[in-house]
Structure 1
Amino acid sequence: MPIVQIHLLEGRTLEQKRKVVADVTNCICQDLEVRPEQVRIILEEMPREHYAIAGTLVSDRA
């Protein structure tokens, strides 16, 4: 049973999330030869102030 965890910044639409989980599921099924019912996906959303790049919070970047 493949388990995929995806970390992303807040702000994606429900439709975008639906599309990404469908696309990732299809890829996993094709590449690992498993059924969709076996695939688990965890979406972890985080606020922009909880993620930094090069020592700067994303919320502070232009």
Structure 2
Amino acid sequence: MPIVHIDLIAGRSQAQLKGLAKDVTAAVSKNTGAPAEHIHVILNEMQKDRYSVGGVLKSDETAE
């Protein structure tokens, strides 16, 4: 039973998240031989003020 955890910053549409889960499931099934119904995909969405890179919160970054 493969379990895939994906952490990403919140902001994608429901359609994007569904597509991600579907595509990841297909890739894991193809490469492991596990049936799709046994593959678990967990999407953890983080708010920008709960994630930082290089000590800078994503919520504090300016658009470039």
TM-score by length of 1: 0.97
Query: Can you give the 5+ residue segments of structure 1 that lack an aligned partner in the other structure?
Result: none
% identical aligned pairs: 35
After superposing on structure 2, the runs of 4+ consecutive aligned residues of structure 1 that deviate more than 4 Å are none
TM-score by length of 2: 0.95
How far does residue 37 in structure 1 lie from its aligned partner after superposition? 0.5
Output the aligned Cα RMSD: 0.4
Matched residues, number: 62
Q: 1:21, 1:27 → 2: CA distance?
A: 10
The answer as to 2:44 corresponding to 1:44 is yes
Query: Can you give the 5+ residue segments of structure 2 that lack an aligned partner in the other structure?
Result: none
Q: Which residue of 2 is the match for residue 27 of structure 1?
A: 27
